[in-house]
Amino acid sequence: MAAVLITACRQQEQTVVTTPPAKVIRPPFKAVDVAYSTYTISPEKSDTIMTASGSRIIIPKGALTDSAGAPVTEACLIRYREFMDPASVMASGIPMTFRNDPANLDKQFVSAGMFEISGETVTHKPIQISNSIPLSVELASNNTQTGFSSFYLDPKTGDWIYSGEELMAKNQRRVDLNKQIEKLRGTLAFAGKHYFVLNSMAMLDVYLNADYTKIAPYYENKHKKLPARLLRYGVRSSDLYCRSGITFGKNQYAADYMVWENVSGIAFPEWTKNTYARLKPIKGNLYELEVSNAKKQIFRAQVKAVMTIKHLFSFGPEYWTSNYEDAMRQIREDEARLATMKEVTRTLEVNRFGVYNCDKFSREPDAFFVEASFSLPLKANTLTPDHLFYVSRREKSMITYSYGPEMRLPLCNDSSAFLLTVLPGNLLAEVAPEQLSAVKAAPKATVTHHFDFRVKAKIQSVEDIRKAIGI
């Protein structure tokens, strides 16, 4: 992977924030925008840029030309940024409405991913993309839904231009990394370490690749001995069951499928076998495990999540015995890389620099319209914001509307939904979910519902927006 990321012909330069040249793009927050990454490439040979998010920009030989259409020979700078969540879309100020007057269309977009790409030579001469040799962008995305199309933003009018159907595929680099983790199979002995799994059946599921024909005999015959090689781990089973899920690194796992360390070093009493355990977070990977029974016996111990059972089988027992720290370091690196990789890639053909989007029209089957009026905080009452943002934590989505103090507003039966708008001074104001949830489909269209915006946060970075939105 390092060899792919580091090439002699290209170096990733310092990430900078650049003001978009197109006037139709108006970031709503002052000095808050999505950063560009800049890459140096040689246009005289084919090259592929691997971005930090896992997306790929494929640049064929001869794809970059000067303003007259002649192939560029000088090294070029490619600037690229992505908008993959509601926070980055809001910060960008990129319009998210599709209008087509002849077809009488005025629709809001739901995006599976958006990016902006531009370029120039290292001496700052303008370049363009050849009419006959387009670039390809494999955009990494966690949205696995189908039905999205590709659109290009006209930098002069702000209109979205249909540019074709995007091609979705599994993110092969994520698949390959998963295979790499799973391929490192084996067993180990952890001499002197208080490692355990909650129950041996979960360990068998992983060890035997969830092959029911191999696992079934152990369920049918409780006295059947575990495989000898598995026992060489030195990892004991507590014969406990737990319905909890935990966060380990940046990933979610079932507690049953983790390897734990008994930090307290206290032996589990015999009466705890075949009972249910509860986990209470303490800090980081440290938890309090509690077991109780009908006789009011209670056992508590501090336990620490060490690794997944899958990673337990990443190395043989001999390797773990002599190279424990190296093995643990590799596992942490693999988990960190896996957490940053997106589920799928969406391939878009790029024949000119600018903003591209994987979109489909917002469709909510349970949506209903209400007549709405709004009031802003006192100091902002004389102002009119540009946009109104409808955010759903349930759907992990955001829809953008033009703001009006009175407007016909579509709502859904969604208790997680709320409204946002941007006020002067980089203030984000909110109509809370409780206000929207109180509104149901009204039998009379003439009923007007009034909503009060309250200041929610002062925004100084894209991460501030992300925290305020909560998705």
The answer on 71 and 108 residing in a single domain is yes
The answer on 412 and 465 residing in a single domain is yes
Confidence at 189, pLDDT banded by 50, 70, 90? very low
Q: Is residue 396 part of a domain?
A: yes
Task: Give the angle 381-391-383 at the CA atoms, nearest 5°.
Answer: 15
The answer on 391 and 378 residing in a single domain is yes
Given a contact cutoff of 8 angstroms between Cβ atoms, the answer to whether 356 and 55 are in contact is no
Q: Three-class SS of residue 331?
A: helix
d(CA 206, CA 184): 13
Q: Is residue 162 part of a domain?
A: yes
The answer on 372 and 348 residing in a single domain is no
Q: Is residue 176 part of a domain?
A: no
The answer on 382 and 352 residing in a single domain is no
Tell me the pLDDT tens digit for each residue of 247-281: 888 788 889 889 999 998 888 888 988 888 999 99
The answer on 108 and 211 residing in a single domain is no
The answer on 245 and 392 residing in a single domain is no
Confidence at 384, pLDDT banded by 50, 70, 90? confident
Confidence at 359, pLDDT banded by 50, 70, 90? low
For residue 13, the model assigns a pLDDT of 41
Domain CATH code at residue 26: 2.60.220
The answer on 140 and 30 residing in a single domain is yes
Q: Is residue 15 part of a domain?
A: yes
Q: Where are the alpha helices (DSSP H) in 315-424?
A: 317-340
Tell me the pLDDT tens digit for each residue of 80-125: 999 988 999 999 998 888 776 665 556 777 777 889 999 999 999 9
d(CA 228, CA 230): 5
Domain count, the chain: 3
Tell me the pLDDT tens digit for each residue of 452-470: 999 999 999 999 999 999 8
Kindly provide the residue ranges of all beta strands, DSSP E only, lying in 333-436, ordered along the sequence. Answer: 344-350, 354-361, 368-375, 387-392, 397-402, 406-411, 417-423, 427-431
Range of the domain at 456: 364-469
Q: Where are the alpha helices (DSSP H) in 286-432?
A: 309-312, 317-340
The answer on 162 and 58 residing in a single domain is yes
Q: Is residue 178 part of a domain?
A: no
Tell me the pLDDT tens digit for each residue of 146-188: 667 888 999 888 888 887 765 555 556 556 655 554 443 333 3
The answer on 227 and 85 residing in a single domain is no
The answer on 326 and 388 residing in a single domain is no
Which tokens sit at 4? 């792919």
For residue 131, the model assigns a pLDDT of 87
The answer on 40 and 152 residing in a single domain is yes
For residue 185, the model assigns a pLDDT of 32
What percent of the chain stands above pLDDT 70?
Answer: 77
What mean pLDDT is reported for the chain? 80
